[in-house]
Amino acid sequence: SGSLVVDFVLILKKEPDINQFIQVVKILLSQTNIDIGGQNVSVHAVKVNGTELSTNSTLCEIRDSIKKCNNSEVCIINGTTTHCSSAPSLSTASDDTNLIIGLAVGIPLFCLLCAVVAAVVCLYARRHKKHSFGQGSNDDESYFHQPFVKSLVKREDWGSHTSSNIQTKLSTSSSEEQDSHKHYDNYEASTWNSSKNAE
């Protein structure tokens, strides 16, 4: 048996609703039993304005069969409806590509730079801390080697220094006492001689 080709006329309004037309075509394509002249037939394809449509045709293909979008527009499917939208320009697509590449390269480099800066700061702080600690120790050691600290008497030397001071004072006192005795003896001798000469 051959195929049954049926010519039919679909009457539309002057300004048809494209989405309603798409739904009518989809309904025709989904029919499995149509009574034509007492025969039950199923629809395999629908040809509209020379464009053959089937159950595998998309909504935009059905739309384009009656009214195509402008040259600067593309058909967009939104659920069960379609609409024409401005096609993205090459410059916009190029800008988006450059932006994606820039973000993909820039973000890892920025993270790497932050990690390097943090490592340098930590290393500098650690070295500075060690240097400050060493300098403080040297200052403490130099403090205990100052001249005025050297003059301080150690605790174990207190006895020796005290005894030496006492001996020095005693020797000084004894020498002063001897000098005073000498002066007194000389004075008495000179007084006795003066009185003897007077007699």
Q: What is the pLDDT of residues 107-162, one digit of tens each?
A: 989 999 999 999 999 988 888 877 675 555 555 555 445 554 445 445 555 555 45
Query: What is the number of other CB atoms lying within 10 angstroms of the CB of residue 63?
Result: 22
Residue with the larger pLDDT of the pair 111 and 25: 111
DSSP per-residue letters across 24-80 = HHHHHHT---EEETTEEE----EEETTEEE-TT--HHHHHHHH-PPPTTEEEEEETT
User: Residue 55: what pLDDT?
Assistant: 80
pTM of the model: 0.39
Residue with the larger pLDDT of the pair 78 and 131: 78
User: Residue 148: what pLDDT?
Assistant: 47
Q: Are strands 73-78 and 81-86 parallel, antiparallel or unpaired?
A: antiparallel
* In the predicted structure, residue 41 carries a pLDDT above the cut 80: no
Scored b (16 or more CB within 10 A) or e, 106-116 reads eeeeeeeeeee
Query: What CA–CA distance (Å, rounded) separates 160 from 46?
Result: 130
User: Residue 164: what pLDDT?
Assistant: 53
Query: What CA–CA distance (Å, rounded) separates 117 from 36?
Result: 83
Query: What CA–CA distance (Å, rounded) separates 68 from 79?
Result: 19
User: Residue 115: what pLDDT?
Assistant: 92
User: Residue 24: what pLDDT?
Assistant: 82
User: Residue 194: what pLDDT?
Assistant: 55
Question: 164 to each of 63, 131, 161, 174, how far by Cα in Å?
Answer: 125, 46, 5, 15
Residue with the larger pLDDT of the pair 164 and 96: 96
- Contact between 23 and 80 under an 8 Å Cβ cutoff? The reply is yes
Residue count of the chain: 199
Structure tokens at 160: 């020796």
